[in-house]
Chains A and B, each alone.
Chain A
Amino acid sequence: MSRTDEVPSLWSGLDRKAMAVAEFTVRQQRKRLSTWVVLLVGIAAMGVLTMFYIDSMTRDYEAVDNDGDSYDWDMDGYPNGQERLYGTDLLDADSHPGLLSPPIPPDDASVWVNEDDFDWDALNEGSVGYDDNGDCNVEERTDSQKDRNGNGIPCDIQLDLNRYSGTYLISTDGNVDEDPDDEAYALEAIHRSFVLAIGKLGVVFLIGIFVPLFMATGLIRQEMTSGTMHFMLAKPIARGEVFLYRILGFLAIAWTYVTLLIVLLAIVTGLAGPSEGVFRFADLGVWLSVWLAALLAVMVYSMLFCMLGVLWKHGMVLALPIAAWELGMILTTLGAPDAAILRFSVIGWAMNIVDAGAALAWSDTPLLIQMGMWGGGNGPLEGAEALDIFASTPGLNLSALATVVISSLVMLGQAAACWLLGSTLFKGKEIE
């Protein structure tokens, strides 16, 4: 006789009940039209948002002459930037590089647009930046003009991290990286904004709250109202188990759905987003954290709403103010991710997970935002403000990994609390 034959029947008995109820729940939901309506509306909503994203990834972004050196003030055919480079008078049509010996042919104005892009991808404190077009280190300029930030290095940008706010102080020498590539910046910033926006607001919040709202609120209540709960409760199974296994069945559907949705979004944005190769693998870490946050949010909300359904036959009415509260909280996370009130929400913890994942996968986002906001010294570039809204630093002031672990544990705790409360309420319910 093998060892497995002697295994006591407690676990396998539990396991059989769990599988039976969960499987029953899956099949029951599958037979309902409302299930398919809810799931398809979710996909349609995400699809529409994704179309806006595809549009913004495929359209052309006007290349802005951020520093104004493509103009030709004196109409001599030489753009200001070229005249400045050769030290001729910008305002005198009789002074231009064509009169030098040997004469310099005039540049097309477009040469002086986006001519000096950001050269500071690396997140380094100290000296970054490079004067691509050489209009900083020209003889006519004084040493103090060449080193306006006073760090002893001419023609660079000095970055200083503000450890309190997590942002960088940008101090520049003039004419360095002053005309960035608008399109490259916009694509990168809008791409990141979209991934964060649809991940946070779309999948984790909207899908995470509405799918449980419509599908989990009635898991126990509908059976109680219709009288079919009698068939299940006539069997030797505790009500707390019924509650838990019904949720498990629901999660089998909802988790699969959320996973598929995220995989689809990851593929579409990975292919459409700006990248050097065919696919942007750099985003996978963010999607992974969105996935984790969405699974946990769906679990907590389904336990919560199912519990409200047990509490009152119009549980939906109780669930709506909670959904409104969560909406308020997710908007709070965008502006103040470390607000203490977020501890009293589900979505605040879920956002911590996404923000931590984004901080790991795209560690340069804070710098990218500030580059865009600075925009070569001429105000924000397109996409910078959107990214500034949707990217937040994780709210716990811990390392990214610790944030993920702690937030996940808190959400598991929230789910367990809702289950316990729901089971207790269910046990006290008389069923007509």
Chain B
Amino acid sequence: MIPDITQQGKPAQTAPQPSVPNAPVVYFQGVSKSYGRIHALSNITLGLTGGVTGILGMNGAGKSTLFKLLMGKLRPSAGEVKLFGTNPWKNPAPYAKVGFVPEHEKMHDWMTALDFVSTFARLHGMTRQEAEREAMRVLDFVGLADVAHKEIGRFSKGMRQRTKIAHALVNDPELIILDEPLQGCDPLARTTIMNVIRELGKLGRTVLVSSHILNEIERITEQIVILHHGKLVALGNLHAIRERLDQIPHTIRIVGEDARNMAKDILDHPAVFGLRFPNETELLIQTYHFGELHAELPRLIVENNHRVHLIDNPDDDLESLLNYLAGGSA
């Protein structure tokens, strides 16, 4: 057999198939991961197949550790991790059906988006032509077709995130894992990425997406897993835990040009029970009905012609929520 140097040959007929049929896509059984005396994850048991699942937790809660265990980057200290029924630490074959978007910001800045996606696509056994065709397809899917020939080093944060997503989708995976895909993205990229994730869910793929912002997760999916200090504290439909969420106050932070004027228009909303002004341009709103208010805010701002730079949730807010869910008091 002569090596296919020019890579003009026939495509590889089949990707290597994991040997266990009908196994859950993602399976954790009593998994712990510790670094010395620090417990990154303790006793996680979880099985997931199909649909979009949000993994919610603060920085350091163990979201990335969970994903890295699943991608065979880390070895569990205890318990069993299965990906399509096989042990990912020992066997890279199931990655043929997986797409992974790591949290790391560092990329190969010297490559064009097309190079980046197609080069790694060839590791799925595609020929050069196939890889380029598939890369263009997924770059189009994430809305980067027009900049496919630009170097990644010249991309904005949102474009880089979308390039990483294209890289993960190039093999048309059954399981897609996205580690903090919205972090640092501009609103446009945020919307695009959220649409992509929802789209994948509709296509029946299993999607795992992590975030430390409840609002983001809420806009993507209702099925969530909440991690706190390495423990699984809640699992299931967001509405089911909504009641419990509503019992503690949330803070929304708005940075705009004139915080006091803005406050006048927002104060009328029934969900608001408190306002604070740390400085001239910043407004902190307190509410028990977080989701409702968050949905209304854009309309209120646009109707009253306010200029707003940023809307977000301070992290301490989530921390109080998570402490509450974990069994402590808010």
- Which of A14-22, A50-58, A65-73, A140-148 faces chain B? A14-22
Neighbouring A residues of B10 by C-beta, 8 Å: 5, 7, 9, 12
B95 touches which one: A19, A27, A226, A234 (CB < 8 A)? A234
Q: Do residues B4 and A234 form an inter-chain contact, with CB atoms below 8 A?
A: no
Give complex CA distance A430, B77 in Å: 12
Please name the residue on chain B nearest to A429 by beta carbon. B73
A23 at the interface (CB under 8 A from B): yes
A402 at the interface (CB under 8 A from B): no
Q: Do residues B123 and A237 form an inter-chain contact, with CB atoms below 8 A?
A: yes
Prevailing SS type, chain A contact patch: helix
Q: Do residues A11 and B1 form an inter-chain contact, with CB atoms below 8 A?
A: yes
A227 touches which one: B13, B74, B104 (CB < 8 A)? B104
Cross-chain pair count, CB within 8 angstroms: 113
Give complex CA distance A20, B99 in Å: 18
A13 at the interface (CB under 8 A from B): yes
Give complex CA distance A231, B106 in Å: 10
Neighbouring B residues of A231 by C-beta, 8 Å: 102, 107-108, 116, 120, 164, 167
Give complex CA distance A300, B15 in Å: 33
Take A236-B93, A237-B123 as given contacts and tell me if A13 and B108 are in contact as well, using a CB distance cutoff of 8 Å. Answer: no
Neighbouring B residues of A237 by C-beta, 8 Å: 92, 95, 123
B229 at the interface (CB under 8 A from A): no
Q: Do residues A230 and B108 form an inter-chain contact, with CB atoms below 8 A?
A: no
List residues of A (12-60) whose CB comes within 8 Å of B's CBs: 12-13, 15-17, 19-21, 23-24, 27-28, 31
Q: Do residues B12 and A235 form an inter-chain contact, with CB atoms below 8 A?
A: no
Contact with A along B86-112 (1 / 0, CB 8 A): 000000111110111010111110110
A431 at the interface (CB under 8 A from B): yes
B122 at the interface (CB under 8 A from A): yes
A232 at the interface (CB under 8 A from B): yes
Please name the residue on chain A nearest to B168 by beta carbon. A234
B184 at the interface (CB under 8 A from A): no
Q: Do residues B124 and A230 form an inter-chain contact, with CB atoms below 8 A?
A: no
B9 at the interface (CB under 8 A from A): yes
A228 at the interface (CB under 8 A from B): yes
A residues neighboring B (CB under 8 Å): 4-5, 7, 9, 11-13, 15-17, 19-21, 23-24, 27-28, 31, 226-228, 230-239, 430-432
Top 6 closest pairs, chain A to chain B, by CB: A227-B104, A20-B122, A235-B123, A234-B100, A230-B102, A13-B125
